[in-house]
Structure 1
Amino acid sequence: MNAIVGSHDLLLVTLDTLRYDVAAELAAAGRIPHLARHLPGGVWERRHAPGSFTYASHQAIFAGFLPTPAAQGPHPRLFAARFAGSESTADGTWVHDTPDFVSGLAAEGYRTVCVGGVGFFNRRPPLGSVLPGLFRESHWEPSFGVASPTSFESQVERAEEVVAGLPHEERLFLFVNVSALHQPNWFHLPGATRAAGDSRETHAAALEYVDRHIGRLFAAMGSRRPCFAIVCSDHGTAYGEDGFTGHRLGHEVVWTVPYAQFVLPGPAGPAGPAGPDEEAAA
């Protein structure tokens, strides 16, 4: 990441509550083409979430503990606070002297912007202000939230406005918490009803909805200069597996999440997977 920070814009998208198995199935079936074209090898990487619900997972993510590869390590990190004895800080890790990499990037001159989705980003109660409070600029509207059938379109529109209003010379770190996968998501599946509620099928339909609009977000973030992008889930959710429903619990479908990192080209140049420097610190 040392060759990325300072030269690239940065994008972090958390697809809140997205399950790995659903994401992998849709990619393999060709049902999320706009996402799949950016996934290295056309597939999601299987990783383990750092938390079982939004607040805990994002606190860890912003501290540099992104979802961990679901294989034996060691697993060097992309971002890390300077910490004596850290075993996950490697030569390619971007090390900062702040408690989270959001403020670390701000100290490097990045404009840090949050476009929130679920309630932990709505800035209404004090708890909803903690995570967006890490950013220099944060945005949330009811139309971005879980109850809106057009939440992601509204979030993308705001992100486009942020990018368009930024001086070209200013580097940008944009974070988007996508709420569309989180319950309720039944309204994304044609023919589904509120009474029937959410299901694995409505969860999949919500990801297809996100895929239809995420190309606009990628285009905006690649419009100024190359952009290093991370797209991942913060945790999964259960739809009746072994009697469990929801998240904030320890189950395979909750802790296993999809992850991808790749470079969006600048105004000229092909998109591609993460380069050697990023891979070394992945």
Structure 2
Amino acid sequence: MHRPDMNEVVGRDDLLLLTLDTLRYDVAAELAAAGELPNLSACLPDGEWEKRHAPGNFTYAAHQAIFAGFLPTPATPGPHPRLFAARFAGSETTADGTFVFDSPDLVGALADRGYHTVCIGGVGFFNKQGALGNVLPGLFAESHWEPDFSVASPHSFEAQVSRAEKVVAELPVEQRLFLFLNASALHQPNWFHLPGATRETGDNRETHAAALRYIDRHVGRLFDAMRSRRRCFAIVCSDHGTAYGDDGYTGHRLGHESVWTVPYGHFFLESSA
């Protein structure tokens, strides 16, 4: 995947980081190959997800790493130069074109470069309902969470995108934006995204796939909002996968291939302004 010079991107373009929480690589790749993700595939390089390894095996760990500059790593022998990196001695993945920052996290570094930083939360680690649920949103100048964004809502992604549209519409045109959105729809429970499924039958790869198709139906609105002011550099990836009985494993925060292997893509959304 082409790696742009992030020292040119940062300060020039708006930035979008969309984490599709819990999305498995195999399900994402199968749907893209079958033509069932028209909106995502239209933006992904060659219409395909890149296979990568997650920086953590559950949401909190993965996002702490991501916000420190450790995006999912290409699933081939490295080292692989990174887009973003905190400055520290001995880094083997900081290269020409890496945006190097002195702040403790990428969010703060972008704020220092004049970006308005916005978090639209999804899963419980972003719900701001307790000390732990405030840690990740607390990195941002502006953060949003409501029950309609949560894993329990069948309409979570639509609600999150509507909030993103409102954020973009209210921001002065000259203000650069870094928008982070954690999509909760793929996380269990996701059975309600598959017509005919019931709470009793529960979640499986098929309901997981249905949740991704649901996200694809609405992601175009998010992309349109982010390109409405100027060109936007977008990163769309999973933070970790999840197991549905694979080798006897269920869930995540465990060391199975279904958890560690994730889809990734980055691309420019050309301005519609």
Establish whether residue 247 from structure 1 lines up as the match of residue 257 from structure 2: no
Query: What is the distance in 2 between the residues matched to 1:77 and 1:137?
Result: 26
Q: Deviations over 1:179-212 (max 9, x none)?
A: 0000000000000000010010000000000000
What's the secondary structure of 1:7's corresponding residue? coil
CA shift for structure 1 position 164 = 0.2
Ranges in structure 2 where 5+ consecutive residues have no aligned partner: 1-5
* Residue from 2, 5, 8 that aligns with 1:3: 8
What's the CA shift for 1:85? Answer: 1.5
Question: How far apart in 1 are the matches of 2:154 and 2:208?
Answer: 13
Q: How does 1:41-56 map to 2 (within 5 A)?
A: 41-56=46-61
CA distance in 2 between partners of 1:119 and 1:106 (Å) = 25
> Pairwise mapping of residues 1-282 of structure 1 onto structure 2 (< 5 A)?
1-267=6-272
What's the RMSD between the two structures over aligned residues? 0.5
Q: Which amino acid aligns with 2:230?
A: R
The Cα shift of 1:74 comes to: 1.4
- TM-score in terms of structure 1 length: 0.94
Structure 1 unaligned blocks of 5 or more: 269-282
Deviations 1:51-75 (A, max 9, x none): 0000000000000000000001110
Q: Separation in 1 of the partners of 2:148 and 2:50?
A: 31
Partner Cα separation in structure 2 for residue 263 and residue 141 of structure 1: 29
Q: Distance in 1 between matches of 2:30 and 2:241?
A: 15
Q: Alignment partner of 1:11: what SS?
A: strand
Deviation of 1:84 after TM superposition, in Å, equals 1.4
Partner of 2:164, secondary structure, is helix
Matched residue type, 1:101? L
- Which SS does the other structure have where 2:247 is aligned? helix
Opposite residue 263 of structure 2, the aligned amino acid is P
Cα distance in 2 for partners of 1:106, 1:84 equals 24
Q: Distance in 2 between matches of 1:97 and 1:51?
A: 23
Which secondary structure state, in structure 2, belongs to the residue aligned with residue 260 of structure 1?
strand
Deviation at 1:267, TM superposition (A): 1.9
Q: After the TM superposition, list the runs of 4 or more consecutive aligned residues in structure 1 that deviate by more than 6 angstroms.
A: none
Identity percentage over the alignment? 76
Give me the whole-angstrom Cα distance separating, in 2, the residues matched to 1:236 and 1:242: 15
- Where 1:2 maps in the other structure, the secondary structure is helix
**CA drift at 1:162:** 0.3
**TM-score (norm. length: structure 2):** 0.98
- Compute the displacement of 1:254 (Å): 0.3
AA partner of residue 178 (structure 1): A
Q: Secondary structure at the match of 1:175?
A: strand
1:167 to partner: Cα distance: 0.4
User: How many corresponding residue pairs?
Assistant: 268
Distance 2:152 2:182 in 1: 14
**Which digits, 9 at most, give the CA deviation of each residue in 1:98-131, with x for residues without a partner?**
0111000000000000000000000001000000
Report deviation, 1:82: 1.1
